[in-house]
Homo-oligomer: A and B are copies of this chain.
């Protein structure tokens, strides 16, 4: 821990991010190029994300399982688009137990192929459908330019893989899980994502259609934060995932896959953080409350400590995640900075005066300085803490939503995307042609982020090339 200042977000957003991740002890660089270590504070955040998602998965009928880390190279080659998309990123095991392997194994970059293989064994009849399985684990994609949480060679995620009897059911599942991601992002992380369909060039290698939730970071760049894919019958055909229907005829299944990764921690950091450091949404924060005892000598300490202990117990009993910072070797001021940097939503200070007045000081992380400070009675403390945490959660969402909405620019044909995309997201009529998309990317570095599901049904002219357009779409520079 240190109290060194971070670079300001305005001066150097990238460096602000890199230093913050290290200083807040969220993650560290592993000795293997491109890999990360998720430190206990970062992992506790991920565990809270996992719990919030897992509950939603189970509520919607999904179960967890574990599939192997290694995939035979030949499996990757069974789905043509899939292998094209992933082969530049593969890590290959060539030796095992001191012997050269007959067939090289790849370390899974995603598990459609091996799970498809197992589904072809397990699924026989329409009665076995739907199969709704999720896996928590890590995957490996060889990355040249890495950034902690956002892009690392190994990353942690969940991948859902489902099989259905009809295209309609697979499509429903795909959109259901997109909604689950949207609800999680907004409700738990206070990250106001926009959801939609990916353009053809941005879709998952092997998918029929891909859907995404997209978040706007503090530097106005976009971050793809979770994806859900309707895989059609592509993997079912490649891996013979078939079922006997009610008429005793063999049919190919329709499959989906959907994933959300530790990348989402990057979304939280860059959505809410400020120049002092992290600001964590209370519903996901490893510590929702930090208590800092204030005293100048042993006598004051003996007055303050029992009250601190008692408050801590009260909060714990109410299932509020609380940390008491009782370090002796640093000052309260150092502790304030430290926990502000680490983004704890609410700080409670307890000094001798507070004890005598039966009060404590609250300091809200989302409102720096005096504005966020208040003195509250120790009576009904749990109610006060809970309502503060809820208030902070709401404020974070409101602030991020208003920032997002202020930075979406409705395009007309006379606007220059190159200028717009430096300062905001562009939203407007788009022709949907791959050629136009390629031109946009090479001229402006902006990419299609998503095409919203609900369109007006009207028509317009592409803001970039002027050709006819039936849908409006978001474009932005992205991570």
Contact = CB atoms under 8 A, between A and B. Distances in A.
A70 interface: yes
A138 interface: yes
A31 B75 contact: yes
B32 A105 contact: yes
A95 B94 contact: yes
Interface stretch (A33-41, A168-176, A177-185): A33-41
Contact of A38 (B66, B92, B107, B140): B66
A93 B96 contact: no
B90 A35 contact: no
Interface string A67-84: 111111001000000000
A47 interface: yes
A72 B31 contact: yes
A66 B92 contact: no
Contacts of A121: 28
A87 B97 CA distance: 8
Q: Which of A91, A114, A144 has the most CB of B within 10 A?
A: A91
A107 B93 contact: yes
A99 to B, nearest CB: 8
Contact of A44 (B36, B64, B97): B64
Given A65-B38, A68-B37, A98 B93 contact: no
A117 interface: yes
Nearest to A139: B69
A16 B122 CA distance: 21
A133 B44 CA distance: 12
Interface string A41-79: 011101100000000000000011111111110010000
A89 interface: yes
Nearest to A38: B66
B97 A31 contact: no
Contacts of A69: 35, 69, 107, 138, 140, 154
**Dominant SS among interface residues on chain A:** mixed
Interface in A132-165: 133, 137-138, 140, 142-144, 153-154, 156
Contacts of A142: 96-98
B68 A36 contact: yes
Q: How many copies of this chain sit in the oligomeric assembly?
A: 2
A30 B334 CA distance: 53
Contacts of A67: 30, 37
A144 B96 CA distance: 10
A338 to B, nearest CB: 14
Given A98-B88, A121-B28, A63 B40 contact: yes
A140 B47 CA distance: 24
Contact of A32 (B40, B72, B140): B72
A119 to B, nearest CB: 11
Contacts of A140: 69-70
Nearest to A28: B118
A464 to B, nearest CB: 33
A37 to B, nearest CB: 5
Contacts of A5: none
Nearest to A329: B127
A153 B127 CA distance: 33
Top 5 closest A-B pairs, CB basis?
Answer: A97-B142, A40-B63, A35-B68, A92-B95, A38-B66
Interface of A: 28, 30-32, 35-40, 42-44, 46-47, 63-72, 75, 87-98, 105, 107, 114, 117-118, 121-122, 127, 133, 137-138, 140, 142-144, 153-154, 156, 329
Given A30-B70, A43-B64, A93-B93, 4 more contacts: A28-B118, A43-B63, A98-B142, A107-B107
6 contacts: A31-B68, A31-B114, A31-B117, A44-B63, A70-B91, A127-B329
